[in-house]
């Protein structure tokens, strides 16, 4: 990649976010730590990248379980390490409010960790020998931040922009505006004109691929904003695919329970998926519909009433 060796990307999958590792003279820092079920792999990859160097700091772009699920394991491995998070979720982390942190309604696990401080949008961090502006990135998660290195033209975009799309716009599922925030976040990325984007998930991309990703993402946000039902179905499919990747297989009852938990906790989602008479969606039939669509997409296969992950 076209940036110094002191900045390394550990590319992961869709269960765990990528890690960005920054090497400085006094030790290393890591941005985002993956999902709990892959924490052993996160520790192993970090050990290799650090090559005996101390890990001094953990930063999180946001506190979704696939970005902060390795914090506790890394803190245990590196006792002197400081953990810094964006301010928007500091209270929820301090109180370990798993409802505010969304871990409950997503039926996802994130081992409790403590944070040592916050870093704010507008601040500049010095990581890997470079200056990084902390930028707000509302939409997917209103408390999320991105890191921008002007000198390298390198953006760590978290879940605001992937090569194909962006993260589910979760506030909308809770009945809170989110599409109206995601669109300006994409515009802000366009204004930066990054040479490289290191997304929260998927391979880094650069050059013309950045413009293509932005064009596609802008079209997608316009479509989702005009069709909240499509966004709601997409959100539930992402959730089921995530749970399946972690569990490998899930019974019909377990799938229905996951959908029911999400519907119960999401007034915006319930409204988006209500039928034409305004009747609330029914979890079991929704789970059946979503599994059929995910099977068509090759994400799972159904065998004797059990969904099995194909990824």
Contact 36, 69 (CB under 8 A): yes
Tokens of 28: 């290393």
Alpha-carbon gap, residue 143 to 138, rounded angstroms: 6
Contact 88, 143 (CB under 8 A): yes
Residue 139 or 204: the one with the smaller Cβ distance to Zn ion is: 139
Q: Contact positions toward Zn ion, by CB under 5 A?
A: 64, 159, 167
7/137 with CB nearer Zn ion: 137
Q: How far is the CB of 66 from Zn ion (least distance, A)?
A: 6
Instruction: Write out the two tokens for 297.
Output: 């997409």
Q: How far is the CB of 176 from Zn ion (least distance, A)?
A: 16
Decide whether 88 or 167 has the Cβ nearer to Zn ion.
167
In the bound state, the residue with its beta carbon closest to Zn ion is 64
CB-nearer residue toward Zn ion: 23 or 213 = 213
> In which region does residue 31 sit, left (phi positive, over 0), alpha (psi from -120 to 50) or beta (all else)?
beta
Helices (H), 120-202: 170-173, 179-192
Q: Which is nearer to Zn ion, 130 or 181 (CB)?
A: 181
Shortest approach of Zn ion to residue 2 CB, angstroms? Answer: 26
Q: How far is the CB of 159 from Zn ion (least distance, A)?
A: 4
Min CB(168)–Zn ion separation in Å: 8
Q: How far is the CB of 277 from Zn ion (least distance, A)?
A: 34
Token readout for 98 is 């798993």
Q: Residue 181 has which token pair?
A: 């925030």
* Measured distance CA(246)–CA(206) in Å, rounded: 30
Three-class DSSP category at 165? strand
Of how many residues is the chain composed?
311
**223 three-state secondary structure:** helix
Q: Quick one: 101 or 307, whose CB is closer to Zn ion?
A: 101
């Amino acid at each position: 990649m076209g940036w110094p060796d002191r900045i390394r990307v550990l590319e992961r999958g869709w269960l765990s976010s990528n890690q960005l590792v920054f090497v400085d003279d006094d030790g290393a820092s890591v941005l985002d730590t993956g999902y709990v079920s892959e924490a052993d792999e996160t520790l192993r990859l970090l050990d290799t990248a650090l090559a005996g160097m101390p890990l001094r700091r953990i930063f999180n772009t946001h506190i979704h379980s696939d970005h902060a699920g390795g914090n506790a394991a890394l803190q245990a491995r590196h006792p002197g390490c400081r953990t810094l998070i964006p301010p928007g979720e500091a209270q929820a982390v301090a109180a370990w409010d798993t409802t505010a942190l969304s871990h409950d309604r997503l039926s996802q696990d994130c081992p409790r960790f403590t944070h040592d401080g916050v870093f704010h949008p507008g601040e500049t961090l010095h990581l890997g020998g470079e200056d990084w502006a902390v930028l707000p990135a509302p939409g997917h998660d209103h408390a999320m931040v991105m890191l921008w290195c002007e000198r390298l033209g390198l953006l760590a975009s978290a879940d605001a922009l992937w090569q194909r799309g962006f993260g589910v716009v979760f506030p909308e599922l809770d009945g809170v505006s989110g599409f109206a925030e995601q669109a300006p976040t994409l515009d802000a990325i366009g204004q930066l004109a990054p040479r490289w984007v290191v997304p929260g998930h998927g391979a880094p991309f650069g050059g013309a691929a950045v413009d293509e990703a932005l064009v596609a993402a802008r079209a997608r946000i316009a479509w989702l904003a005009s069709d909240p039902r499509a966004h709601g179905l997409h959100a539930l499919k992402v959730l089921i695919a995530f749970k399946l990747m972690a569990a490998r297989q899930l019974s019909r009852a377990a799938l229905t329970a996951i959908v029911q938990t999400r519907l119960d906790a999401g007034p915006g989602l319930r409204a988006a998926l209500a039928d034409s008479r305004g009747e609330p969606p029914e979890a079991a039939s929704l789970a059946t519909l979503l599994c059929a669509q995910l099977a068509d997409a090759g994400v799972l296969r159904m065998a004797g009433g059990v969904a099995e992950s194909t990824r």
